[in-house]
């Protein structure tokens, strides 16, 4: 089956992007649609959620679908201020491409009042997205495959922002998570209401916006090491978390930069840390006076 091959690709790509094991199944449907469901592994059966993507001739729809006994999950869902930056980032990206619908307990989400996203005993969460693509042809699904993957992944990221998460510990743990997104363990959601660390989502949003090239020296792991280095980069907080005080919203685009391991080590070599501009300046002077 051709679609099965697509499904395998979609599953592989979205699992890798999120560092999660995800089960992907194709739904039995009419001929003229391609419909598949993504569900993270390890969540208690019937008490979790899945994401359904349906591609018609000229329209794609993506939906969040809580399962029959997902009451506890819904109650613990929401978006504390620490994850809000990433949530707003993914929301905006989707909104620029299509229509996104966010309803919490039957009230439409007002992005001017993100406090309504505070975890607060949600009983009903409806989130969906639709986008038209006039030139899409189901016969040539491969041509739109990347687009389908991109949107489904953005949507999935948005949902991850709303899932229960660990409270962050300190700046170190925040920045150590350089190996892409990982950290889902089977049963975690049920036991500790913890699925995802906020830092991973901020990191994902930062890289999605700025890429994986070092913003200080221009180093690119993929260019240098080839396939094994592809997509590797570290993420640095421009303002140390300790300086930011209690509750704050990290703006993943303004407050974080992708940075290579060397620059990252050096930027932290002084307390307080060097600013990116300072380190760039140092590099520029060095290059100017050296043999380079
Ligand atoms: Zn660098
Ligand atoms: Zn750092």
Tokens of 28: 């039995």
**Residue 274 DSSP symbol:** P
Instruction: Find the distance separating the first CA and the last CA of the chain, reported in whole Å.
Output: 55
pLDDT of the residue at 279: 96
Residue 111 Cα distances to 105, 165, 271, angstroms:
15, 21, 37
Q: How far is CA 113 from the centre of its chain?
A: 22
Q: How far apart are CA 34 and CA 32, in angstroms?
A: 7
Cα(169) to centroid(ligand 1), Å: 26
pTM over 0.85: no
DSSP readout, 153-204? HHHHHHHHHHS-EEPP--HHHHHH--SSS----TTHHHHHS--EEHHHHHHH
Distance CA 287, CA 166 (A): 43
Collapsed DSSP state (helix, strand, coil) of residue 1? coil
DSSP string for residues in 196-231:
EEHHHHHHHHHHHHH-SS-TTT---HHHHHGGGGTT
Other C-beta atoms within 10 Å of 246: how many?
Answer: 5
From first to last of the 292 residues of the chain, give the pLDDT tens digit.
Answer: 578 888 999 999 998 888 888 999 988 767 778 899 999 887 788 889 999 999 987 899 999 999 998 988 898 888 877 778 899 999 999 999 999 999 988 889 888 777 778 777 788 999 999 999 877 677 777 788 899 999 999 999 999 988 876 443 333 333 433 333 333 333 233 222 233 455 678 889 999 999 999 999 999 999 999 999 998 999 998 876 666 665 567 788 988 999 999 999 999 998 888 999 999 999 999 876 554 4
Judged by its nearest atom, the ligand closest to the C-alpha of residue 264 is 2
Distance of CA 184 to the CA centre of its chain: 14
User: What are the two backbone dihedrals, phi and then psi, of residue 98, each rounded to the nearest 5 degrees?
Assistant: -160, -150
Q: How far is the CA of 223 from the centre of ligand 2 (A)?
A: 23
In order of their start, the domains of the chain are: 2-166 (3.30.930), 211-292 (no CATH)
Distance CA 223, CA 228 (A): 10
**Residue 226 CA: distances (Å) to CA of 48, 221, 235, 253:** 38, 7, 20, 26
The Å distance, Cα 56 to ligand 1 centre, comes to 44
Whose atoms come closest to the Cα of 269: which ligand?
2
The ligand minimizing its distance to the Cα of 242 is: 2
Residue 292: name the closest of 187, 218, 201 by CA.
218
Q: Quote the CA–CA distance of 29 and 3 in Å, as a whole number.
A: 12
3-class secondary structure, 99: strand
pLDDT of residue 119: 74
Q: Name 187's Cβ contacts closer than 8 Å, sequence gap at least 6.
A: 42, 44
Tokens of 188: 């975690």
Give yes or no for a contact between 177 and 200, defined as CB atoms under 8 angstroms apart.
yes
Measured in Å, residue 158 CA sits from the centre of ligand 1 at 30
Check residue 187 and give its pLDDT.
29
């Amino acid at each position: 089956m051709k679609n099965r091959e697509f499904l395998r690709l979609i599953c592989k790509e979205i699992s890798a992007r999120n560092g999660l094991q995800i089960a992907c199944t194709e739904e039995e449907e009419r001929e003229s649609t391609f419909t598949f469901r993504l569900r993270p592994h390890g969540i208690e059966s019937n008490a979790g959620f899945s994401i359904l993507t349906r591609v018609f001739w000229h329209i794609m729809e993506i939906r969040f679908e809580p399962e029959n006994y997902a009451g506890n999950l819904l109650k613990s869902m929401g978006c504390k201020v620490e994850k809000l930056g990433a949530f707003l980032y993914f929301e905006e990206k989707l909104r620029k491409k299509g229509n996104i619908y966010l309803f919490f307990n039957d009230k439409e989400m007002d992005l001017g009042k993100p406090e309504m996203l505070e975890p607060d005993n949600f009983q009903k969460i409806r989130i969906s997205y639709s986008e038209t693509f006039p030139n899409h042809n189901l016969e040539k699904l491969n041509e739109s495959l990347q687009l389908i993957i991109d949107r489904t992944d953005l949507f999935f990221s948005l949902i991850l922002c709303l899932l229960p998460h660990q409270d962050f510990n300190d700046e170190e743990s925040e920045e150590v998570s350089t190996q892409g997104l990982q950290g889902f363990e089977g049963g975690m959601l049920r036991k500790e209401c913890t699925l995802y660390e906020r830092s991973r989502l901020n990191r994902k949003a930062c890289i999605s916006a700025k890429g994986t090239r070092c913003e200080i020296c221009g180093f690119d792991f993929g260019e240098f090491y080839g396939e094994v280095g592809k997509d590797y980069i570290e993420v640095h907080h421009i303002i140390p978390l300790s300086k930011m005080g209690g509750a704050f919203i990290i703006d993943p685009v303004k407050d974080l930069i992708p940075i290579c391991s060397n620059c990252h080590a050096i930027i932290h070599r002084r307390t307080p840390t060097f600013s990116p501009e300072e380190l760039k300046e140092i590099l520029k002077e060095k290059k100017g006076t050296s043999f380079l």
